[in-house]
Chains A and B, each alone.
Chain A
Amino acid sequence: MTKKTNSEEFSLPQKISLKQKHLLGLEYLSKEEILLILDTAKPFKTIFTRSIKKVPTLRGRSVVLLFYEPSTRTRTSFELAAKRLSADTVNIAVQLSSVQKGESLIDTAKTLESMKSDFIVIRHSYSGAPHILAQNVSSSIINAGDGFHEHPTQGLLDIFTIREKKGKVEGLKVVIVGDILHSRVARSNLWGLTKLSARVVLCGPPTLIPKDIDKIFPQVEIEHDLDKALRNADVVNILRVQFERQLEHFFPSVREYSLLYGMTKQRLKNAKSDVLVLHPGPMNRGIEITTDVADSLNSVINEQVTNGIAVRMAVLYLLSLVNTNQ
C-alpha cells in the first residue's frame, strides 16, 4: 500500500516495524527500530499515572519468565509490563523446576512452547542461550540478559531515560564506568548508544576493559582515569561490581577499586553540572557509588526502574505485531 489512507500516517517519516519477532540484542536492531521502541514506550509510561494501570492490548497472550539467574528488578519489571498489557504471566523458578532433574534448555523451552506460550523471556548465564531458543522454538524470545553478551531491555531503558531527560542522544558524552568486560549492560548500551550517535567513553581498570573492544566499536574512547573520563560528561552510567563473577582476580582489592573508580560527589564535579547518573542496579553503595551520589538530584536511578516497565511494554507490544506477520 503506497497511498496514505489517513492523515495520521502523513506525519510519519516512514512506515517501520520490527523485523524480527525476537529481541536478542541491540546489536541486531537498526537505529529506526530502536527509536520505534523508545517512542512507543512514551505513551505506555503515561498509563502508570492512572488509577487503572492497565490496558487490554495483549489480552489472552502468555508470557513465560524463564530465569536461570537471580533477578529482582528485571523479572518483576517484565512481569508487571506483561500484566499491564493484560497478558498472562508464568514464572518458572528454575531452582524448583525440571531443570534440576537435568532437562536441557531446549527441552524446557519446547515444553513451554507446547503449552502455547507466546513469549519466553529468558535470562541465562551462558552468552547466546536466547539465540539457541530462537532457533529452536516458535515463541518470541526476549533476552533478559545472557552471560556477558547483552541485556537489551536494560540498554533500551537506559537510553530511554537519557532521551527523556536530555531530549536527545546524539552528540552526548556518555561515560560507562566499571567492569565492562563482564557487563552485558555495557554491551547493550554500547550498541544502542553508538547507533544513536552518542559519544561513548569507557572507563575502568585495564583488566576489566576488553582488549579488542575498539575493533567492534572503533568510535568508542577508552580512558582509565575516571576524573579525565568524566570531563564534560552529559551522562555517567555506573556499572555494578559483579562480585559473583570472581572479580578478585581482576583488581587488587575492593578498597582500591572504590578509591579509583567509585563515584563520589567530589569526582562527579568533573562532569557537567546537569550530568545524569545512571546505575542498572542493584547498587553496592559505598563501592562503585557513594550514597550521596546515588541519592543526589543528578541520579535517575529510580526513574530507570519506572522507565524499564514502559520500555518492556513497548517491546512486548511491538513484538506481538511482528508475530502476526509470519
Chain B
Amino acid sequence: MKTKTILTHKEIKKIIATLAKKIVKKFTNINNIALVGIHTNGVYIAQRIAKEIKKIVKKDIPLGTLDITFYRDDIGYRNKIRYAKDTNINFDINNKNIVLVDDVLYTGRTIRAAMEQLLDLGRPQTISVAVLVDRGLRELPIYAEFVGKKVRTTHEQQIELLLKEVGAKDIVVIYDKKNE
C-alpha cells in the first residue's frame, strides 16, 4: 500500500493556528462564537482550534461535541455499525455563530447531518464549517468557509488522520483503497 503524507505534524499545527485566526477575524464579537466538533477527529481539532483562539482573545469560547450517527442518511443502505458517541452541547446555541469543525470535508453528508442536528437544538445566528482538509467530490451543496488544505482526490482514495490524541504521530496521509 502506497501511503503519502499530505500534512506533517508541523503543518497541522500551522493550519490550526491559521484557522483560529480566520475564525476570530470573521466573527468580531468573540462572545458570540462557539465551536462544535464532529466525532471523533473533529472533536480533537475543535479542541486544538479553541486553544489557539484562547491564545488570541485570552478567553475560553464554548466548545461542544456532536455525534451524527442518528442523523445519517445512509441508515439502511450501508452495512456498517458505528458506535454512537455523546452529543454534548451544554450551552445555548440560539443566536450564536456556530463553527462546525470536522477533519475532512468530502461528500458533505456529514455536515448536512450535523446541521440538521444543530437545528434540532436551537436556532443559531449562523453555521459555518471549518475543516483540516477539503478533498472535494461534494455530493451536496455544502461549502466550508475555513479550510486548512485543499487536496484533489478520487473516490478510490482514502484520507486518514493519525492524530496524537489517539496515540498516533500526528500526520495526515492519503492512500489508494484498492491496494489495501
Partners in one complex: yes
Interface residues of A (CB under 8 A from B): 1-3, 5-8, 10-12, 15-17, 36, 39-40, 42-44, 46-47, 50, 52, 54-58, 85, 317-318, 320-321, 323-325
Q: Is the CB of A46 within 8 A of B70?
A: no
Question: Could you pull out 18 A-B pairs where Cβ atoms are within 8 angstroms?
Answer: A3-B180, A6-B40, A6-B161, A7-B161, A7-B162, A8-B39, A16-B81, A43-B87, A44-B70, A50-B120, A52-B121, A55-B117, A55-B120, A56-B70, A57-B75, A321-B75, A321-B81, A323-B76
Minimum Cβ distance to chain A for residue B166 (Å):
5
Q: Is the CB of B76 within 8 A of A317?
A: no
Q: How many angstroms from the CA of A80 to the CA of B180 in the assembled complex?
A: 44
Q: Is the CB of B79 within 8 A of A6?
A: no
Q: A11-B40, A324-B76 are in contact. List 4 more A-B contacts (CB 8 A).
A: A8-B83, A42-B86, A50-B121, A54-B120
Q: Is the CB of B40 within 8 A of A8?
A: yes
What's the interface size class on B, roughly?
A: 20 to 34
Q: How many angstroms from the CA of A1 to the CA of B177 in the assembled complex?
A: 10
Q: Is the CB of B120 within 8 A of A52?
A: yes
Chain A residues near B67 (CB-CB < 8 A): 43
B residues 97-125 in Cβ contact with A at 8 Å: 116-117, 120-121
Interface residues of B (CB under 8 A from A): 39-41, 67, 69-72, 75-79, 81-88, 116-117, 120-121, 158, 160-163, 166, 168, 180
Are A43 and B40 also in contact (CB < 8 A) when A3-B180, A57-B71, A325-B79 are? no
Q: How many angstroms from the CA of A57 to the CA of B157 in the assembled complex?
A: 28
Are A7 and B158 also in contact (CB < 8 A) when A2-B180, A46-B86, A56-B116 are? no
Q: How many angstroms from the CA of A85 to the CA of B84 in the assembled complex?
A: 14
Are A8 and B180 also in contact (CB < 8 A) when A43-B87, A54-B120, A325-B79 are? no
Minimum Cβ distance to chain A for residue B90 (Å):
10
Are A17 and B85 also in contact (CB < 8 A) when A7-B160, A7-B168 are? no
Chain B residues near A8 (CB-CB < 8 A): 39-41, 82-83
Which among A1, A3, A16, A317 has the greatest number of chain B C-beta atoms within 10 A? A3
Chain B residues near A321 (CB-CB < 8 A): 75-76, 79, 81
Q: Is the CB of B41 within 8 A of A7?
A: yes
The residue in chain A whose Cβ has the minimal distance to the Cβ of B73 is A56
Chain A residues near B84 (CB-CB < 8 A): 40, 42-44
